[in-house]
Chains A and B, each alone.
Chain A
Amino acid sequence: MLGVGGLLFGASFLIAIASPHFLTAFNLENLVRRSALFGILGVGVSFVIITGGIDLSIGSLVCLVGVLTPWLLVEQGVHPVVAVGGLLTLSLLLGVLHGVLITRLRLQPFLVTLCGLLIYRGLARGITGDQTQGFEGGFHTLRKLGNGRLPLFEGVAIPAPFLFLVVVALLAALLLGRTIWGRYLFAIGRNETAVRYSGIDVDRMKILAYGICGFSSGLGGLLFVLDVGSAQPVDFGSFYELYAIAAAVLGGCSLRGGEGTILGVLLGAAVMQVLQNGITLIDAIPNNVEYAVIGAVILFGVITDESVRRVIARRRGEGKVEGR
């Protein structure tokens, strides 16, 4: 987590030197907004990753909720409270469904959520006939949840999604760090069998993790579409699961499970957005190499983190009775 903090600072520092636009209030506010949106997805997926699972359906769930929100409101004339409540419930239930399939039918998380990735994208496109869904200039109050800003002082404001992120992150940190269920989730990631043999309902805990992930994907999708105002079923939320997973891994979650912190994940999500922002701002880097740069930086971050961890493990190993 120290590593990702350093990466965030270092990348910001270099980009600030390279581009005068980076440290403007407008850009920073935008950056915080984007980071918050991806942070919500990252927090969700970190629950699943901590149990040793994976969720690939996030981007498609973002898309489903993202296009259905304006579709329900504008095309179907559904009341906003019903539409929002219904879609958030739907995303929670889809997450729970993933969990049920994974635990009760013993299907592999990768497989179940890969099918989710395909199914939800297909549904979103089918329902809307591939037509871009937008709010058509209406629903200003509702959209404030995504694009609103809480002015602090002259020209500086806190974007609304950031407030959501704070709530989500605090709840998640409380759940993971202070409750017995958080302890179960970490222990499951480290040795699921031993947890089951300790009389703990592992299935229920894993279903909880996938439910949380589904819900935060839905919340993310909702805030994304309220922010940008419209969603194209073909590519809305595309690759977002990978951004979320990358944020979690950069933030110290091990894909083997049993490790991770919410603060780390938030920093990880911020790093991703800073990099993307930097590539847009710095003219010397063509925009179309974006993925390559982000991939390389993540790889670098993960390698650094792993090496640091090894050194620490070796130091700690000194007092340990080895191989006797």
Chain B
Amino acid sequence: MTTPAVLSARGIVKRFPGVLALDGVDLTVRAGEAVAVIGENGAGKSTLMKVLAGIHAPDEGELRIDGRPLHLRGVREAIAAGIALIHQELNLADNLDVGANIFLGREPRRCGWIDRARIERESRALLLRVGLDIHPHTPTAALSIGPRQLVEIARALGQEARFLILDEPTSSLSAAETERLMELCAELRRDGTGVVYISHRLGEVSRVADRVVVLRDGRRAGELSHEEIDRDRMVRWMVGRDLDASDRVGHVPGDTVLEVVGLRLAPAGPTIDLTARSGEIVGLAGLVGAGRTELLESIFGVRARTSGTVRVLGREVPAGNPRRSVAAGLALVPEERGHQGLVLDGSVRENIALPGWRRFSRRGLAIEARARAESARVIESLDIRTSDDRRPAGTLSGGNQQKVVLGKWLPLEPRVLLLDEPTRGVDVGARLEIHRRLAALAGDGLAILFASSEMEEVLALADRLLVMHDGRIAGELLRDELSEEAVLQLATGGGQAA
């Protein structure tokens, strides 16, 4: 069998009931080439990838591999043709070990029994190839999201995939893991694998891609070769208009609103002290595992803290009691919006009203009209795009869902807003809107404390940055000291640069 060298899609049209998801899109990937596909949520990226991977059949247009037409009738046929999709939602079985996952569905057999020795041998080789030095017997459940992704890639390589489609591979990875993945992409390319890379992160795209294809509203908005890659142009193509980040220079913070003293995340761990003032946006940077999420969650009270005091406006907030925290003026926009932030089956209105029901009620009786009015106000003020606030929140795009998670706190008029990865998996347009909104909230006197893994976000938003390392605050950077190098230095335990 000769290895396929070119995978191409011509004039792909895909309709869903009521929506034209793809409207005549072309895409070509050659072996040994990395092509990035970028676009806002809803631009059609994932649909295009699903067409390539055999999950959706195109309504018009065709796929070709080495010039020969390719009719995929399912994922299995795509894999047989050498095309593998690494999903946004990872598809590993938690109850199996890593080796079993790599060979899931195509276990080698000897005399009818699964050949465990061979699985171990071959999966170890595949794991090494993706740069993962773990034993094939490692339970999958023990792996964090970065290694999981690598295991999926190892599985795809085991299936002899010649074209690898990565759907937002770095959205949940730490900086170090992202780095590893970038290297792996480069290696795969050198080995002659064609890589299609979907991402929101323009910085990554310019590093990894030989070419960038920009989609907007199901059409190709443009294509740039590696030399031509230019951030402003990509953004313009993606959103169809010019956007500027919020400008927060010359802003003077007010009194201290949030005070954290001597907080420990673990019984014998280091203590954490921090403050946030009214009108101030404080960033929390650090590598994955540095304790940012844990810190935010224990301030809010959904996670127990072993010691320490949290005060809002000088009043102590009891530990481990989110209800009292909310009453004291704290609000948390959590890291995992589908799991912690939203009742996905619930309507947008229910989600917005949920934390505020106590206000929208009289003697326990819910006042539906109040909830409706507040929901309408939030939708209007955050520009949440939904045809009807009785639609399930889960049907909204990622950016709009995130706005709902933020918006549900607004009727309560919190004093301190805690946000964990406020724009993860959110498209560029919605991200800028959320950033602007946060700046406006700070302007109204809120204290904002946000954790983010994205340097761009930290640099765009933070008045002051706390960098965490290993469960403690390793250093503080003021706005004019902010730089990627300074942050990394602190985040990796290198201490504060002089």
Contacts and interface: CB of A to CB of B under 8 A. Distances in A.
Interface in A146-199: 178-184, 187, 190-191, 193-199
Nearest to B17: A318
Interface string A285-324: 0000000000000000000000000000000011111111
Interface in B294-336: 300, 302, 321-323, 325-327, 331-332, 334
A323 B397 CA distance: 10
A194 B341 contact: yes
A75 interface: no
Q: How large is the interface on A (under 10, 10 to 19, 20 to 34, 35 or more residues)?
A: 20 to 34
A309 to B, nearest CB: 12
A123 interface: no
B267 interface: no
B343 A194 contact: yes
B42 A198 contact: no
Given A181-B364, A320-B395, A199 B340 contact: no
Given A179-B365, A187-B343, A258-B345, A324 B46 contact: yes
Contacts of A191: 339, 342-346
Contacts of B302: 196-197
Contacts of B365: 178-180
Contacts of A198: 322, 326, 354-355, 408
A323 B56 contact: yes
B322 A197 contact: yes
B2 interface: no
Contact of A199 (B18, B44, B326): B326
Given A190-B345, A200-B323, A179 B340 contact: no
A191 B397 CA distance: 19
Contacts of A235: none
Nearest to A182: B366
B380 to A, nearest CB: 21
Nearest to B16: A322
Contact of B357 (A180, A196, A201, A324): A180
B358 interface: yes
B128 to A, nearest CB: 34
Contacts, number: 108
B42 A324 contact: yes
Contact of B18 (A182, A195, A197, A318): A318
A324 B47 contact: yes
Nearest to B55: A323
Given A195-B354, A319-B387, A178 B345 contact: no
Interface in B345-373: 345-346, 350, 353-355, 357-358, 360-361, 364-366
A179 B360 CA distance: 10
Contacts of A201: 321-323
A204 B445 CA distance: 33
B498 interface: no
A177 to B, nearest CB: 9
B474 interface: no
A176 B339 CA distance: 24
- Which of A178, A183, A201 has the most C-beta atoms of chain B within 10 angstroms of its own C-beta? A183
Contact of B355 (A178, A181, A200): A200
Contacts of A324: 16, 19, 21, 41-47
Interface in B20-67: 21, 41-47, 50, 56
Contact of B17 (A196, A258, A319): A319
A195 B343 contact: yes
Given A193-B340, A321-B397, A323-B47, A187 B354 contact: yes
A123 to B, nearest CB: 35
A258 B340 CA distance: 16
B350 A187 contact: yes
B332 to A, nearest CB: 6
Nearest to B351: A194
Contacts of B17: 317-319
A184 B300 CA distance: 20
Contacts of B327: 199
Interface string B4-20: 00000000000011110
A319 B18 CA distance: 6
A317 B18 CA distance: 10
B357 A184 contact: yes
Nearest to B345: A190
Interface in A6-21: none
Contact of A321 (B42, B332, B340): B42
Contacts of A180: 357-358, 360-361, 364-366
A321 to B, nearest CB: 6
Given A181-B364, A198-B355, A199-B326, A321 B395 contact: yes
Nearest to A313: B392
Interface string A262-283: 0000000000000000000000
A197 B302 CA distance: 7
B334 A197 contact: yes
Contacts of A195: 343, 354
Interface string A232-262: 0000000000000000000000000010000
Interface in B383-405: 387, 391, 395, 397
Contact of B323 (A199, A317, A318): A199
Contacts of A181: 364
B366 A197 contact: no
Nearest to A314: B17
Contacts of B358: 180
A170 B173 CA distance: 51
B339 A193 contact: yes
Contacts of A199: 322-323, 325-327, 331, 355
Contacts of B339: 191, 193-194
Nearest to B388: A319
Interface string A108-131: 000000000000000000000000
Contacts of B323: 199-201
A185 to B, nearest CB: 12
Contacts of B408: 198
A318 B340 CA distance: 27
Contacts of B332: 197
Contact of B366 (A183, A187, A200, A321): A183
A324 B218 CA distance: 9
Nearest to A192: B343
Nearest to B363: A179
Contacts of A182: 366
A183 B321 CA distance: 20
A196 B354 CA distance: 10
A197 B341 contact: yes
11 contacts: A180-B360, A181-B364, A183-B353, A183-B366, A184-B357, A190-B343, A191-B345, A194-B340, A199-B355, A320-B18, A321-B397
Given A197-B332, A322-B16, A323-B56, 6 more contacts: A179-B366, A181-B364, A183-B353, A196-B302, A199-B325, A324-B44
Interface of B: 16-19, 21, 41-47, 50, 56, 300, 302, 321-323, 325-327, 331-332, 334, 339-346, 350, 353-355, 357-358, 360-361, 364-366, 387, 391, 395, 397, 408
Interface of A: 178-184, 187, 190-191, 193-201, 258, 317-324
Q: Which 7 A-B pairs have the closest CB atoms?
A: A199-B326, A180-B357, A318-B17, A198-B355, A199-B322, A191-B343, A197-B340
